[in-house]
Structure 1
């Protein structure tokens, strides 16, 4: 039991890594040196087993927006003292045929847009909103943070099971611990990542020259596509559409002012 507690403590202490966009200390003990090769391999396997769209205007738009977002990310990081932050990134942008309303960016800059989300994106600015958000997840190491948090969660469960191995309360502990850590820790953790990615993504798209007012407009379209659902965010991995739209609308003027510091005063 003491060894498990010591392992958890050491992991927590050694896992502190500064988020360059927020300045906050984050839980992350998964190094890029081990994460990126796995990510790149999985991305190649995914492309090999799915229909990648090449040579169309939509495919070219995905690549164009992606390159501008990547360049803006590098600009922000260099200006804020993180010149080599992206040195191991291998940017790639692909449009894949699927009806899913989704897009994602794997650790290391491997990006996929599904054709199903293009009508919601509607235009190049909408693509930039989505691209900025997904890239922000990768830049902020959200995937690695979730993996790290899950490991700590598992260590806690193991410790509790060892401590209560001969107790009649073992089953009650497992039920309460599983539900409590999921609802009280893991889901809020995920929602905070979504909110953080919205803010970072909006800043990046503005530096890339795209109007950040498109952020809340995109989510208005996304909300309409989901039937204007106003589901509670307590049991969700994402904030409610209503809170997301309000947050993005409030952030847009601040993001524009920040972009001026980088010489960006006009937006597409």
Structure 2
């Protein structure tokens, strides 16, 4: 059964979501799926240590029409009240057109993206075409709305809860990467989810990540890999503060990320912290 995968983050972009999708789909035949994204993926900008592009056909959606005036005089909510449903409908039409053309029998849509509209747009597209819809929760969609910078007036949790509830009710099945996310969605909506743990390539020698120095002197490493953004800052700041209170020079936090190390340090994530560049898949 051919399916369409909708995701803002796709290989070769250096994000944790891209890594997971690459590992899940790299062995599938190119005719088994197609990729749909609202991000402009330029192969020329591929980083040396980014995941390679997938074999499936890639469709990059053009930006939707948006009303760009109206943030003055208290009109922000009115403007976004038009722009959000308009963008969802226009993107849904584009996704539905690809699904019909590629003769896909299901739509899998991932959380994330600069405007968080992929999930509702993909759900609406599934209704237009008449195929099952599977949201893939790499992140907590409900809480992403509270941190988003793209929409300023409608980033509150009341709107997010209504939007998420509609998506969940219309889903054939919800995919989650860990037990916690599954239990959280069960608590909110009383649903059972499908668990797919994030795959990990284990080196043959079971050694450290390629290019990373081996621990020495009995150092205790707390290792984090992946993107670091607004949703993570509080957790990292609390962890750094706990390490400082611990007062042990042999315990350090090691962060492997493509994000700017200096910017994270400016956010206060510094001290018993060692930064590493994004590591190669090979």
TM-score (norm 1): 0.27
Higher relative contact order (CA 8 A, sep 6+): 1
More strand by share: 2
